[in-house]
Amino acid sequence: MPADLDPRLLRSFVAVAEELHFTRAAARRHVSQQALSRDVRRLERELRVELFLRTTRQVTLTADGERLLPYARRVLRAQDELLAALGPARPLLVDVNSPGLGTARRVLLRARELAPELELMARYESGLTGAAGELLAGRLDVSFGRFAGLDPALRAGLAQQPVRFEPMAVLLPLAHPLAEIERVPLAALAGESVYAGDGNPRTPEWTDLARHLFEGRGIEVASPHPLAIGEEEFQRVMAKTGSPILVVQEFPAMPGTVHRPLVDPVPLSPVSLVWRKGLVHPGLTALRRAAAQLGAAEGWLRRPPGGWIPATDIHVMNVHD
């Protein structure tokens, strides 16, 4: 028997025990069915018992499952009472990367609607790698970005929920020959040097995504520019260099440029909600619910025909931790 049990495993068990249906229980827990099944299997391994009888038609509790259920409910009720006894939840610090960026901001706004009694405070770390160290140190709680692009040592201490395959675009100077094209085929960028944050220690996951995308297409990642902090400085440096800039389609407008979607194929930026493992906070629950609701309503996790993501990201974006 284990010395202790992860309460998450018990919550997954109770959800399945009450629903007697893995798909409904997964929806209730705001996780994938695979993640829920993994939790139940892990709990069964740790307790060395079988908790459910599964057939193609139904799920039923075993005798051991029936025996565990009242204990699991009491443990989880005690945990909830303990958290409630500590008083109002502290503010949850949510990194939305940059002001104006769509996906993270929309998830945050929806979470505030779902839990208006909570304080969800926006922060702007500009890059998941930059935010990851702050998450692990407890100075941030939640961020957004490309989880597969993080160093494995950082990923080991973090959990994630896939949120969106976000279509990518390019910002072009007004005088650029491609500026008159409404949608820019990737092949048209052959021979170009496109800025993708190379040299910025906060955003290597974005530069790595660009390298995967440009490989074999004759497109170069532009050499490092002076690191610009803040929107005004970024715009000034980009105007001075005149480089096309790799962005997402919801990137805010920038003076002196035109914003053009990329096509043939449509490159997708894989966005996850990322938090420190072990974090328990009602604001995190609200964010996960908000991401799941928006994703379901707007098809955020449906890859469009011909949509491109790196092979390294496919598994991460198919799994809810």
Domain assignment present for residue 2? The answer is no
Any domain includes 145: yes
pTM above 0.85, yes or no: no
Question: CA nearest 97: which of 107, 105, 109?
Answer: 105
CA–CA distance, 207 with 20 (Å, rounded to integer): 45
* CATH code where residue 19 lies: 1.10.10.10
pLDDT (0 to 100) of residue 100: 59
Do 161 and 272 share a domain, yes or no?
A: yes
Residue 1 belongs to a domain: no
Q: Are residues 273 and 286 in the same domain?
A: yes
CB-CB contact of 15 with 28 (8 Å): yes
DSSP 8-state symbol, 25: H
Q: How far apart are CA 267 and CA 306, in angstroms?
A: 9
Copy the structure tokens of residue 132.
């990851």
Which of 41, 63, 85 terminates a domain? The answer is: 85
For tokens 């440029």, name the residue.
257
Domain match, 275 and 150 both = yes
Q: Are 210 and 194 in contact (CB under 8 A)?
A: yes
Q: What is the CA radius of gyration of the chain?
A: 22
Report if residue 202 sits inside a domain: yes
Rounded distance, CA 199 to CA 212, Å?
16
- Residue-wise DSSP of 232-299: HHHHHHHHHH---EEEETTPPP-TTEEEEEEESSEEEEEEEEEEETT---HHHHHHHHHHHHHHHHHT
Residue in the block written with tokens 């809810």: 320
User: How many structural domains is the chain composed of?
Assistant: 3
Provide the domain limits for residue 74.
Answer: 7-85
In a domain, 237, yes or no: yes
Report the CATH number that the domain containing residue 121 is assigned in CATH: 3.40.190.10
Whether residue 206 lies inside any domain: the answer is: yes
Task: Work out the percent of the chain whose per-residue pLDDT is above 90.
Answer: 61
Q: What is the pLDDT at residue 321?
A: 38
Q: What's the whole-number mean pLDDT along residues 288-310?
A: 93
* pLDDT class of 149 with cuts at 50, 70, 90: very high
Positive or negative, the CA dihedral 213, 214, 216, 217 is positive
User: For a pLDDT cut of 70, what percent of the chain falls above it?
Assistant: 90
Q: Is the pLDDT of residue 320 over 60?
A: no
DSSP per-residue codes, 175-228 = TSGGGG-SSEEGGGGTT-EEB--TT-TT-HHHHHHHHHHHTTTT-EEPPPPPPP
Whether residues 72 and 215 share a domain: the answer is no
Mean pLDDT is lowest, of 87-91, 226-230, 277-281, for 226-230
> At residue 238, does pLDDT exceed 80?
no
Residue-wise DSSP of 96-140: -SSTT-HHHHHHHHHHHHH-TTS-EEEE---SHHHHHHHHHHTS-
Calpha distance 85→74 (Å, rounded): 16
Compute the C-alpha angle 281/135/254, nearest 5°.
105
114 falls within a domain: yes
CB 173 within 8 A of CB 257: yes
Q: Pull the structure tokens for residue 35.
A: 């993640």
Q: Specify whether 242 is located in the same domain as 128.
A: no
For residues 141 and 278, membership in a common domain is answered with yes
Q: Is the dihedral of CA 153, 159, 161, 163 positive or negative?
A: negative
Band (234; pLDDT cuts 50, 70, 90) = low
pLDDT in tens, 22-49: 988 888 787 888 989 999 999 999 999 9
Cα end-to-end distance, the chain, whole Å: 24
- Say whether both 160 and 176 belong to one domain: no
In 3-state terms, the chain is what percent helix, strand and coil (to 5)? 45, 20, 35
